[in-house]
A = this chain, B = another copy of it.
Amino acid sequence: MGGTRRLNMTRAGANLTLTTSRALVLDFVRSAGPISRVELATLTGLTPATMTNVMRQLLTDGLVVEVGRDLSTGGKPRVLLDINPTARFAVGIQLGADSLTYVVTNLGGAIVGRLRTRGAEDSPPVAVISRMAGRAKQLIEDLGIDGQAVIGVGLAAPGSMDLDKGVLLAPPTLGQWSEYPLRDELEAAIGLPVLLDNDGTTSAVGEFWGGDVPDASTMCAVYLGAGIGAGILIGGTVFRGASSNVGELGQMWMTAPHSGAAPDTLERVAGPAGVAAAVRRALDAGAESSLELGGTDPIADFTLIATAALLGDPVAVAAITHSAQDLAEAVLIAANLFDLDFVVLAGPSVAIAGSMYVEIVQKRLDEGFFAKRRHGIEVRLSTHATDAAAVGAAALVLQHQLAPRSFGS
């Protein structure tokens, strides 16, 4: 699919999910630009008068600019409009025990600056918050971006959360952060509005805002980090369920707990730690391999294994294949429950051997998807891989503030 911008006529029916005419027009310019006023009027169904007013506002605010002329109709050349990528910026931060990623993106969702640092580890939240605010502000300053143009901060984190309160709930790898007023403290420290969300959900929004997902798709973005989560987007709108704790793919057991077999979840068997443990068992059993694992950091070990798999090391290939097969079974279940037509794999764990994961997941869906006689499912890698959750967190801020959408429920 690459970076092609899609102009999907069926989206006219999706208007109701965008809350204002301004949001609607801006979102079409973002996804379909460069585009003329006439085409926009057709797509949005707005009256010429409303379109004129909304466009005047967007041009005045600098969000949209005139980029050229369309001469193809033979008549009076039409002015082509597109978003002005440098009109606004957003910060995205991905909070993890093992690493912190900061990005600044422009209005189009493209990365203009990035910083990766050590993770929250066991530091007290108050110290990490202060560090996060300092690093983010420094990054904006180093990039020479006018602070007024930065509209907010998106914060991606793993596990279950209470978005009303802006807190994490018993996150497995971030024990000290349970119920800590994460969003409010970061907001106070950084002086910008902060939106907290799940790393799966932000990854999904990042793909969509970047323009690489068909607008009308039912899409699942799987985020593979230390854990495994997922976000669901329906026609560009985040599916939130009862409390925004959807897509807990990593919690899926791979054998029913009462079946007698050792119960284990997808996260534990197919995540970095599970893959590293499987390789260690194979090496201990004397399997032929070039691999030497450090053994203390499963993420570092997983990186070695993924690299060796690409080079054809048999133990590494077997371990990554098994991980991808487990993931494929979980994605198949999600596909049969949500009736998906688009799957994106994102996160650090698919940064290296992602192509192996994509191939195995695609093959399993092609074979096993229940509604395959009705339609296929496209699987592809995120355009951002390791940075997907942070880039998506920034995109969430842009979407929320400039083109808010909801199911209205």
Contacts and interface: CB of A to CB of B under 8 A. Distances in A.
Nearest to A234: B409
Contacts of A375: 242-243
A14 interface: yes
Interface stretch (A97-105, A146-154, A285-293, A333-341): A333-341
Q: Tell me which of A237, A251, A375, A409 has the highest count of chain B C-beta atoms within 10 A of its own C-beta.
A: A409
A246 interface: yes
A382 interface: no
Contact of A371 (B160, B218, B239, B370): B160
Nearest to A322: B258
Contacts of A170: 373
A173 interface: no
Contact of A248 (B13, B253, B255, B336): B336
A307 interface: no
Contact of A17 (B218, B374, B408): B408
Interface of A: 13-17, 160-162, 169-170, 216-218, 230, 234-237, 239-249, 251-259, 261, 322, 325-326, 329, 333-334, 336-341, 370-371, 373-375, 407-409
10 contacts: A162-B374, A169-B371, A234-B407, A242-B341, A244-B339, A247-B337, A255-B255, A258-B322, A258-B325, A333-B333
